[in-house]
Structure 1
Amino acid sequence: MIKAGIIGGAGYTAGELIRLLINHPETEIIFVNSTSNAGNKITDVHEGLYGECDLVFTDELPLEDIDVLFFCTAHGDTKKFIESHNIPEDLKIIDLSMDYRIASPVHDFIYGLPELNRRATCTAKHVANPGCFATCIQLGLLPLAKHLMLNGDVMVNAITGSTGAGVKPGATSHFSWRNNNMSVYKAFEHQHVPEIRQSLKQLQNSFDSEIDFIPYRGDFPRGIFATLVVKTKVALEEIVRMYEEYYSKDSFVHIVDKNIDLKQVVNTNKCLIHLEKHGDKLLIISCIDNLLKGASGQAVHNMNLMFNLEETVGLRLKPSAF
């Protein structure tokens, strides 16, 4: 059994991670650390786990007792923790924050998008889990980058559910504001753009065009629905073939020949992609669950690869669908 620890156990991503790991046949949770909830039951915070989990939050850190450590912490906290604690040499780390997503000679974290870095993830000791928007958008673009087809600006519009803002209530996640409402935020300046660019340049080093990304807040709890537009003269049939070939060995990405919707992916680790051609404009529609494929599900996917398990173990999940 893989023995797991979680730091930062009170948020949405931690709740989903706990749910996945307690139902994972090859994993045992040894501790869930939360200084603000130490001594409280997990179900006092994550009430959806009633009847499934009798664990208690702790402020202890028995790192020597685990095989893998998940960080579900605020951005910046993982780096501070690693720099201030003695980490066992053989302990694997999966960081769900953005602290180590950008490659640097000062750290050895692998960018954990399996559809891009599967081989490197399988042998990695430290993995940086991608951002939710970054995951959805990259999966829509990677096959084009592989074929050196991103030779102009990429236009992206993507809408996310309220859980993307985290568990702490705020002015733009309050029900009375969010319900029946929609708004733009961080237009052209979202923090996930650098990691998207990094991945595209990994496949197409010549890529230097703009990624014009406009994020939207949606009035639903979970999911990301993205539309991407690029220009190309390549026929749709050939593009579909490229996408199907690129993702032929990936269990969670599916190319769909008719329009897609969020309910097909919410509560799953899937990404669905639909392609359309209108003149020389290629429309790519990509959707994921921001908490699963965009966070905790992808973290478990990475864990499976790091421990040489079949990648879908613990991740065959039913979508809400209706």
Structure 2
Amino acid sequence: MQIKSIECYPLRIPGHPYCGGHDTRKNTGQYGDYTTHAVYRAIYTMNAETLLVKITSDDGVVGWGETQAAITPHIVAQLVNELVAPGYLGQDPHDYAVLRDRAYDRLRDRGHDSGQYVDAISACDIALHDLLGKVHGKPVHQLLGGAYRQEIPCYVSGVPAVSVAEQADHMRRWQEQGFNRFKISLGYGVKQDIAHMEGLRRELGDEPTFLVDQHWVYDLNDSIRIGRAFEALGIGFMECPMDAEIFAQYGKLCAALDLPIALGEEFRTRYRFKERIDAGALDIAQPDIGRLGITEGMRVTTLCNAAGIPSAPHIGSGLAPYTAASLQVAAATENLFLLEFQPTQID
């Protein structure tokens, strides 16, 4: 069996913005269809964007992959077509790890370990796993070694609201459906963040587990101040409060707090995770399968498991192949903490 064709489908869904693009009152700059936000430091789309990749074998089996191309998916498609696909065509899909590593190596001096080039590789990697699952008539987690669990513990992410009361009402509706873990996007200031979480505790009591995402906006001192207040509120983890690059500071933060520190959504290789693990700079890893792919994602969870670090796979903006790949990795991850659930993507 050989790979016969690779086709790209960059998608844009108008008027369906994700996360930082949804609240135009807080947008600070416009770059065509993209915007910057008063708090969230990355650029966001005013639509919903992603890239689907279709790989077909010479005997007609089709696999679908997706990368988290939340902006400019047409650029990622061009990278697939011009730099990734030529190395995959004519090859055996079972060699997915070798194909992934060779594609990674080809751009060794051209930004090979991050950014949209790795996203292009990851979309193809997910598609190959989907194809192989169909070839063998098995769910992908069985190809990865089996499922450690039949049910995946999840938290609800992206609960938009203008006020604490409105957000609490959204959460109550999710509680009625059986969910009791929620991630809240913060980063509006030390006092504001603490007051917001105090308000949610008053509204919903001690039963829900709250997780917080602070979008890389604080320094070490403010992160410690917020973290200590969050410890008293029983917060489950604090996600990326500081710049991810300053992992020595993260080591100090992890040592100063009992509150678990989570990060890793933007990392695209196991090497970025290993640096943080060696520095004692994270308590919970957040591999994003839409950026890592399944092959590298499993390498990350294995690395973290060996270090005693639980994994909580991150899910951002995307469609079914991205979510399905994340579920398969979560099932096959021994030391799983939680999986992110993005209801706005399902809707």
TM-score normalised according to structure 1 size = 0.28
> Would you tell me which structure has more helix in proportion to its own residues?
2
> Would you tell me which structure has more strand in proportion to its own residues?
1
